[in-house]
Structure 1
Amino acid sequence: MYCKVNQTECIACGICQLAAPNLFDYTNEGIAYFVPDNNSGRHPLNPQELIKMKIAYHKCPTGAIKRSVTPFPNS
């Protein structure tokens, strides 16, 4: 499983970082990003990361956290 944050949908509520502090952080503008791969969506999650990511994913009020079974395309 792969993950990234759609930063245009993020409202900087802080829920993702509370749920998974090792996976999510914030830019200087306060917008969340996925830490392990600097939000590229190309870092395969290990089982422990996957559990934390899914908690954050389900709690995100805007659905800004995206997940995929394949790496996200280069942007």
Structure 2
Amino acid sequence: MSEIYTKVAQEKCIACGLCQIKAPAIFDYTEVGIAFNQLDQNQGSQTIPTNLTDEFKAAYLICPTHAILRASKPF
């Protein structure tokens, strides 16, 4: 499986909570409720660990605003 990198386009986030429900080990919220990738402070520079791939994909697919970004190389 290829490497997956992620970060949240915070300007698109509507703070719905779905990403944190689906992937709590990856996504968390700022003090104002905007999601971010907690693995690397939303830099998109660290790969998603293999054991969290399914959680990530569930969050990625359910995001209503497509704020969760995905790439095969660092952002």
TM-score of the pair, normalised by structure 2 = 0.93
Gaps in structure 2 of 5+ consecutive residues: none
Gaps in structure 1 of 5+ consecutive residues: none
Runs of 4+ in structure 1 over 3 Å off: none
Matched-pair identity in %: 47
- CA separation in 1, counterparts of 2:53 and 2:70? 10
Q: Which amino acid aligns with 2:29?
A: Y
Identify the residue that residue 41 of structure 2 maps to in structure 1.
Answer: 38
Per-residue CA deviation, residues 50-69 of structure 1 (Å, 9 max, x unaligned), is: 21111000000000000000
TM-score of the pair, normalised by structure 1 = 0.93
1:25 aligns to 2:21 (yes or no): no
RMSD: 0.6
- CA separation in 2, counterparts of 1:25 and 1:44? 17
Identify the residue that residue 71 of structure 1 maps to in structure 2.
Answer: 74
